[in-house]
Structure 1
Amino acid sequence: MNQSNQTSRTDNGKGLNEQSGILVTGGTGSFGRAFVKEVLRLYPNIRRLVVFSRDELKQFEMAQEFSLNQYPGLRYFLGDVRDRDRLRRALNKIDVVVHAAALKQVPAGEYNPIEFVRTNVIGAENVIQGCLDTDVKQVIALSTDKAAAPVNLYGATKLCSDKLFIAANNFAGRDLSFSVVRYGNVMGSRGSVIPFFLRKSQEGCLPITDPTMTRFNISLQEGVEMVLWALAHAWGGEIFVPKIPSYRILDVAQAICPTCRYEIVGIRAGEKIHEEMITTSDSYTTVDLGQYFAILPTQGRYTLEDYCAKTGAVPVKPGFSYNSGTNDRFLTVAELRSLIREHLDPTFAVEP
């Protein structure tokens, strides 16, 4: 999925350049940190790059790696997407927003539902209103596979957030677009299964929720590249979905600790056995862009036919779905081990 650096800017004027003003909500999270790192690599003299988050310690730690002295356009801005006034202040001189702030732990959402609503739904609306009231020209919001046919509170809040961002295109009233990027489990992100298994393997036992469970897999770098691509190519109103491999939970366990004992503990509240990113109901407005799918809005600035004519996209077949359990590409045990070494621990090795 590697993209050329040129994909961050296209001839239509979309995307990023040295004169961009960017705000990243959740900027100290796993994605935010990786995105900021890549933007600074591409554009070290970028005019303005605001890291917006509520964690002062993470901002302090991040500033040790990306200092204001080295990157004059970089700003660390304490705030919460729940606070519309603070967010509005952070949007000063910003023309591109990448919205990555969210509460995302599934069990926590089942136990604390209103907190997830306040951050993931009300926070999304605050971002939208702030962008409408300022000079922002483009917004990309991060979503999750759990937003497709959700069965948990986290997924339901992210589906609601997706709907809010897509609908915002209908009343922007100017040169402002909102699009969504939806992808699966990010390898190595905080709270994800692979780092958890790596820690538990030291105890000689891995807890398996369900032996048939599958998940999509994407690296942080691939997620960053996808957002840069979306910034350069989005029309507004799309939900972009990457074509990525799946893995079986038992293959992850085998890759990490083949000698460990496995304990079947049952799925957690709100979990699925398999994840979806495109449902059969979505198929009627979904197109294939080659490297990505795009779920198009049912109403808005353009038709599916116009989108396909101008982008070369091809509509998927009616009834198509994109499911981690029926995916046509699964990572092998050897590939999983290689990815762990590449993205998580260069010294990782399985004892013979």
Structure 2
Amino acid sequence: MNLKDKSILITGGTGSLGKALTSHILKNSPDIKRLVIFSRDEQKQFDMAQEYPVSEYPQIRFFIGDIRDYDRVKRALKGIDYVIHAAAMKHVPIAEYNPMECVKTNILGAENLINACLETEVTRVVALSTDKAAAPVNLYGATKLASDKLFVAANNITGWNPIKFSVVRYGNVMGSNGSVIPFFLKKRKEGVLPITVESMTRFNISLQGGVDMVMHALEHAWGGEIFVPKIPSYKIMDIAEAIGPECDKPIIGIRPGEKIHEEMITSSDSFYTYDLGKYYTILPATHKWNLEEFISSFDAKRVEDGFKYNSGENDDWETVEGLRKLIVEHVDSDFKV
């Protein structure tokens, strides 16, 4: 995607994916006009600024702010063309214990961003979702489902404005902050890897896979799509075996709000879901563009009624040895069993 002379803002830009997006954009589009890192954590912004000093990266800006603060969000969007929305409260147990804080960030923050984008010159918005937003059983998933709905429906109120809102939904990002692999790598030093449920499975995507999907949506979305990648799953016992084969693996039970298998497309979504080849897309029930033109442009094929996509019934699985190679490649280059 040609980003020459464009200005991009990343909310939650100091997070794992925000940093990966920053690296990708600066490497592939050095002629970008401006890249704004918007987040509320000053320490993370300070640390990231050491990696990207203004003397070497004059395009980058660091903007302290909270998506709960509409005025600050609107100020940050001045002169911005594209927005990637990665800011969220995402830890399931913390959200269960602090529900309104999660609602304020993930739902009200999404509404603030949408309204501010509609009032500025932004032309494209890509919001990050999660597999936990499909048939949610925890508060985090429920807030992200509400956020997805807000971004999809925002296309209905654009009026004359050419702005397009879309969503990308994917599973656990390998090595991201708070995810199971860094947790197990840390616990391995203690000789114990706590297992919730032996049958648990999860989808797996690399940081670069997440970045590629965001950039795909930024370039190709017509407005209102929820993009879902075709990615492998892994079994929790396989990831434990890959990291600590000699470790004790006590069963501690499922945590509040946790699923045994994650789902990204429910059977109820199947009536609006199309296969695009590398990705699936869940289309909005109402849209401003012509469906037949969309199908023709992307060679899209509607999935069968009742189709669902979950980590426990996937056709593509990571192996123990394959997981070890991925850990070395994407998480810890010094990892050895």
TM-score interval, smaller chain: over 0.9
Q: CA deviation at 1:309?
A: 2.0
Measure, in 1, the Cα distance between the counterparts of 2:46 and 2:178: 22
- Residue 44 of structure 2 aligns with which residue? 58
2:163 counterpart of 1:212: no
CA distance in 2, matches of 1:55, 1:47: 24
Secondary structure of the equivalent of 1:215?
A: strand
Decide which of 264, 268, 273 is 1:281's aligned counterpart: 268
**Contact 1:140 1:227 (C-alpha < 8 Å) held by counterparts:** yes
Shift of 1:306: 3.4
Q: State the partner residue of 1:114.
A: 100
2:8 is matched with: 22
SS in 2 for 1:50: strand
CA offsets per residue over residues 14-69 of structure 1, 9 Å max, x none?
Answer: xxx12111000000011101101110001223111100000111111101111111
Superposition deviation, residue 226 in structure 1: 0.8
Write out aligned runs for 1:82-161 (5 A). 82-161=68-147
State the partner residue of 2:308. Answer: 321
Query: Secondary structure of the residue that 1:216 maps to in structure 2?
Result: strand
CA distance in 2, matches of 1:332, 1:303: 42
The answer (yes or no) to whether the contact 2:130–2:144 under 8 Å persists in 1 is yes
Q: Over residues 47-100 of structure 1, what are the superposed CA-to-partner deviations in whole Å (9 max), with x where a residue is unaligned?
A: 111000001111111011111111212110000000000000000100100000
TM superposition shift of 1:310: 2.3
Partner of 2:23: 37
Shift of 1:113: 0.3
Deviation by residue 1:210-244 (Cα, 9 ceiling, x = unmatched): 00000000011110011111111110100000000
Runs of 4+ in 1 over 2 A off after TM superposition: 302-306
Count of aligned residue pairs for this structure pair: 336
Equivalent of 1:171 in 154, 157, 160? 157
Partner deviation per Cα, 1:177-232 (whole Å, 9 max, x = no partner): 00000000000011100110111111111100000000000011110011111111
- What is the deviation of 1:112? 0.3
Are 2:222 and 2:289, in contact at CA under 8 Å, matched by a contact in 1? no
Report the Cα distance in structure 1 between the residues aligned to 2:317 and 2:235, rounded to whole angstroms.
Answer: 8
* CA displacement 1:301-323 (0-9 Å, x = unmatched): 13543321222111011100000
Q: Is the Cα contact below 8 Å between 2:230 and 2:280 reproduced in 1?
A: yes
CA distance in 2, matches of 1:259, 1:56: 40
Partner of 2:287: 300
TM-score of the pair, normalised by structure 1:
0.94
Matched, 1:48 2:34: yes
Give me the whole-angstrom Cα distance separating, in 2, the residues matched to 1:127 and 1:319: 34
The equivalences for 1:180-191 within 5 A come to 180-191=167-178
Partner of 1:14: none
Contact 1:24 1:97 in 2 (8 A): yes
Structure 1 position 280, deviation (Å): 0.2
C-alpha deviations, 1:289-340, integer Å up to 9, x for none? 0000000000121354332122211101110000000000010000000000
For 2:262 and 2:274, the matched residues in 1 are separated by 20
> Which residue in 2 is equivalent to 1:224?
211
Q: Within 2, Cα distance between the matches of 1:245 and 1:43?
A: 30
Query: Could you tell me which residue of structure 1 aligns to residue 246 of structure 2?
Result: 259
SS in 1 for 2:193: strand
2:308 matches 1:347? no
Counterpart contact for 1:24–1:99, Cα < 8 Å = yes
Amino acid at match of 2:137: V
Contact 1:285 1:304 in 2 (8 A): no
Find the aligned partners of 1:105 and 1:303 in 2 and give their Cα distance. 39
User: C-alpha separation between the residues in 2 aligned to 1:190 and 1:119?
Assistant: 18
Counterparts of 1:85 and 1:250, CA distance in 2:
47
Fraction of identical pairs, as percent:
62
After TM superposition, the structure 1 stretch with the greater mean CA deviation from structure 2, 230-239 or 37-46, is 37-46
Work out whether 1:194 is the aligned partner of 2:181. yes
Long gaps (5+) in structure 1: 1-7, 10-16
- Tell me if the contact between 1:140 and 1:180 (Cα under 8 Å) persists in the aligned partners: yes
1:69 aligned partner, one-letter code: S
Q: How does 1:65-76 map to 2 (within 5 A)?
A: 65-76=51-62
Q: Which residue, 39, 62, 66 being the options, matches 1:80?
A: 66
Alignment partner of 2:189: what SS? helix
Query: 2:68, 2:105 within 8 Å by CA — same for their partners in 1?
Result: yes
Unpaired segments ≥5 residues, structure 2:
none
SS of equivalent to 1:294? strand
